[in-house]
């Protein structure tokens, strides 16, 4: 009982504001992972996990029956669910994919602003476990296990300073990493290489042009980046004031 109580206290405890340099450096590191093509090609797998997890979660909340998630080595993914092929539930589940990474980053920034570093890491583990249960291919399972193992090792074995660095870097990554796929999506659409993209499926369902949905994805993710970035740099602003 004491062990469980200690664990619960550890997860819910608050941590002090991190050093200002850590907030800045982790943001720069996240940018260096998102912007260069080679680094992004590898790290984009984490964004795809969040993207497909968003489809799955919103689909289930809208009453759809989730059949499985597949993640591919080219960083694409597929979430399969059963239910009506039209209507608000289908629209919401399609819309959720591209905005989920950024919204997760925003939620992470809010938790970090409250000093809940350990809680953020453990929530991340729970979400990854939920995705893992629904993975239906080997590469996808391996990708989720690698990310989950990294989060677990940091949350369980790393020092508080290392946990803070990891949590801030991961949150910055989701905020920045949620924006880049929108540009890539529109580039593929312009070339005619993504006829079944989320935006084009939404266009067929709603009869609203696909470009509208791309712009809406972008606006939501940029807003999350601005607000989440503000929450992350609040300690710097407080000290400056």
Residue 69 pairs in a beta bridge with: 79, 135
β-strands 77-82, 65-71 pairing: antiparallel
Residue 67 lies in a domain: no
169 contacts 30 by C-beta, under 8 angstroms = yes
> Crossing angle of helices 37-61/117-134, nearest 10°?
80
pLDDT-derived band at 84 (thresholds 50, 70, 90) equals: confident
Average of per-residue pLDDT values in the chain: 92
pLDDT digits (tens, 9 = 90+) for 123-156: 999 999 999 999 999 999 999 999 999 999 999 8
- pLDDT number for residue 66: 93
Q: What is the pLDDT of residue 5?
A: 66
The model's pLDDT over 157-213, given as tens digits with 9 standing for 90+, comes to: 999 999 999 999 999 999 999 999 999 999 999 999 988 999 999 999 999 999 999
pLDDT band at residue 10 under the 50/70/90 scheme:
low
Residues with Cβ within 8 Å of residue 87, at least 6 apart in sequence: none
**If you count them, how many residues does the chain have?**
241
Q: Is residue 70 part of a domain?
A: no
User: What's the domain count of the chain?
Assistant: 1
Q: Is residue 61 part of a domain?
A: no
| Among the ranges given (7-11, 132-136, 222-226, 233-237), the one the predictor scored with the smallest mean pLDDT | 7-11
pLDDT at 14: 77
In a domain, 217, yes or no: yes
Domain assignment present for 29: yes
User: How far from the centroid of its chain's Cα atoms is residue 139's Cα?
Assistant: 19
Residue 80 maps to a domain = no
pLDDT of res. 1: 46
Q: What pLDDT does residue 6 have?
A: 62
Tell me whether residue 73 is in a domain.
no
Q: Is there a domain that residue 58 lies in?
A: no
CA distance 58 to 66: 10
What local confidence, expressed as pLDDT, does residue 235 receive? 77
Which carries the bigger pLDDT value, residue 240 or residue 229? 229
Q: What is the pLDDT of residue 8?
A: 65
Domain holding 201, by residue range, is 17-46+99-240
d(CA 173, CA 115): 18
Say how far apart CA 211 and CA 228 lie, in whole Å.
25
Statement: residue 9 has pLDDT above 90: no
């Amino acid at each position: 009982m004491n062990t469980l109580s200690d664990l619960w206290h550890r997860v819910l405890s608050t941590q002090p504001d991190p050093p200002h340099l850590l907030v800045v450096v982790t943001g720069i590191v996240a940018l260096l992972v998102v912007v260069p093509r080679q680094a992004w090609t590898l790290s984009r797998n984490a964004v795809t996990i969040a993207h497909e997890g968003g489809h799955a979660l919103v689909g289930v909340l809208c009453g759809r029956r989730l059949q499985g998630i597949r993640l591919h080595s080219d960083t694409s993914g597929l979430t399969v669910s059963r239910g009506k092929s039209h209507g608000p539930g289908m629209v919401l589940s399609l819309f959720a994919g591209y905005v989920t990474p950024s919204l997760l980053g925003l939620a992470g920034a809010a938790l970090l602003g409250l000093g809940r570093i350990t809680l953020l890491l453990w929530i991340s583990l729970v979400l990854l476990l939920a995705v893992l249960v629904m993975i239906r291919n080997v590469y996808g399972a391996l990708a989720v296990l690698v990310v989950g193992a990294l989060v677990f090792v940091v949350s369980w074995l790393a020092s508080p300073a290392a946990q803070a660095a990891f949590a801030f870097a991961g949150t910055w990554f989701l905020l920045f990493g949620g924006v880049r796929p929108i540009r890539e999506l529109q580039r593929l659409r312009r070339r005619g290489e993504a006829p079944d993209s989320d935006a084009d499926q939404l266009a067929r369902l709603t009869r609203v042009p696909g470009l509208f949905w791309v712009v809406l994805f972008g606006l939501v993710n940029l807003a999350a980046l601005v607000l989440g970035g503000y929450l992350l740099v609040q300690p710097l602003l407080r000290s400056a004031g």
